[in-house]
Structure 1
Amino acid sequence: MLWEALGSAMLGLFLSLAALHRFAHRLPDHRLVLATGPAGALFGAFVAHTALGSGHVLPVLVGAVLIGAALLSLLLKPATRRLRRSTSATA
């Protein structure tokens, strides 16, 4: 279980670094992102380990990455696009 925790924390850190590299303009402060990735991955590993039991290292790490990515996606701000109002919508 120790290796699952360390592996999931490392995967969460790599996931948050990749998110910062790709979506830096749409994410809040980098310290929050770097803390959310490993925390989400550790929570995901805990949930997957609880559901699957011991001896399933790869599925636990996949669950850690999925939940870590889901938590990081909640930090994303919407893309900035200008929405034009049509003239028929104001009439």
Structure 2
Amino acid sequence: MFWEALGSAVLGLVLALAAVRWLPSRLPDRVLVLGTGTAAALLGGVITRIVLGTGHSLVTLSVAAAVSAAILSLLLGNVRPPVTFRPEVAPRPRVP
């Protein structure tokens, strides 16, 4: 149980670090992302372990990675990309 939980937490941390590295402008604060990824993977791994029982380490780690990725993807929508301003163009006059 301890090694599966530790493996799930490390896997979530690795996924969070990868997300911070690849999408730094679309994610909120780095500490929030790292904590969320780790906690989500740990929670997903523990719940899977409770549901399936012992002897399913690969499935437990796979579900932990999926839960971590799903929760991290929810953080992507909270930060909007910077807005670029374009000069307004006057509308074309209508010709009767």
Taking structure 1 as the reference length, the TM-score comes to 0.83
Report which of the two has the higher share of helix.
Answer: 1
* Corresponding residue number in structure 2 for 1:72: 72
Larger radius of gyration: 2
For structure 1, the residue ranges without an aligned partner over 5 or more in a row are none
CA distance in 2, matches of 1:27, 1:35: 13
Which amino acid is the alignment partner of residue 17 of structure 1? L
Whether 1:14 and 2:5 are equivalent positions in the alignment is no
SS of corresponding position for 1:12: helix
Deviation at 1:51, TM superposition (A): 1.6
- Give the total of aligned pairs: 83
Give RMSD over aligned pairs.
Answer: 1.7
Q: How does 1:42-57 map to 2 (within 5 A)?
A: 42-57=42-57
Which amino acid is the alignment partner of residue 73 of structure 2? S
CA distance in 1, matches of 2:47, 2:69: 14
Q: Which runs of 4+ in 1 moved over 6 A?
A: none
The superposition leaves residues 33-90 of structure 1 with CA deviations (integer Å, 9 ceiling, x where unpaired) of 01001100001001211121111100000010000111111110366488xxxx9xxx
